[in-house]
Structure 1
């Protein structure tokens, strides 16, 4: 019974980790007072503290309280691919899944190249 509960697909908590070593640029725009900006805030919290020191450029723009502009995320990877996401209708798990999907493909290429 315990294995059935732990494998439940309805678990919606924030992911514990995200593959960040292939990210070069992160641009986040959000209204800190809007509930729809939660994925943007959580995404920023998943970036490790030493990311800037390791060369990642992180740019966050906070919108005014009365702004109607949706939260957005722009990510650039080491291979040059850019990903722009509208976060207003996404959960953090979906955002991490999108970013990690490309990061995993870069990790596979890196591994096959013997690095």
Structure 2
């Protein structure tokens, strides 16, 4: 997953819920140096009894914002959505450098 174009990650999930697996896995896919390289990561853990749905919001360097529903999407589809836009930004950066 190309993470260098991601500027902000905000997620809300119940860590005890099986439906929050996608949000937890997405956070684990972020590199350990993400915060030191300028990425803002905000994770709000909901109480065990919470029925609020798990959400994931991602902002990119070009200003695009994605709001993903972690309960209906699996981790593969979330990574595909993020990579689709990251690859587009990578192509633009490669063309600008050439």
- Normalised by the length of structure 1, the TM-score is 0.84
Instruction: State how far apart, in whole Å, the 2-side matches of 1:62 and 1:44 are.
Output: 13
Corresponding position of 1:23: 6
Match of 1:74 in 2: 57
Query: Which residue number in structure 2 is paired with residue 84 of structure 1?
Result: 67
Larger relative contact order, structure 1 or 2 (CA cutoff 8 Å, min sep 6): 2
Give the 4+ runs in structure 1 shifted more than 2 A.
Answer: none
TM-score (norm 2): 0.98
Structure 1, unpaired ranges of 5+: 1-17
Query: 1:22-101 counterparts in 2 under 5 A?
Result: 22-101=5-84
Number of residue equivalences: 98
Q: Displacement, 1:20?
A: 0.3
Structure 2, unmatched stretches of 5+, are: none
Mapped to 1, the partners of 2:74 and 2:30 lie a distance apart of 17
Quote how far apart the aligned CAs of 1:80 are: 0.5
SS at 2:68 equivalent: strand
Give the C-alpha shift of residue 65 in structure 1.
Answer: 0.4
CA-CA distance at 1:59 after TM superposition: 0.1
State the secondary structure of the residue aligned to 1:112. Answer: helix
Give the corresponding residue for 1:109: 92
Structure label with greater radius of gyration: 1
RMSD: 0.8
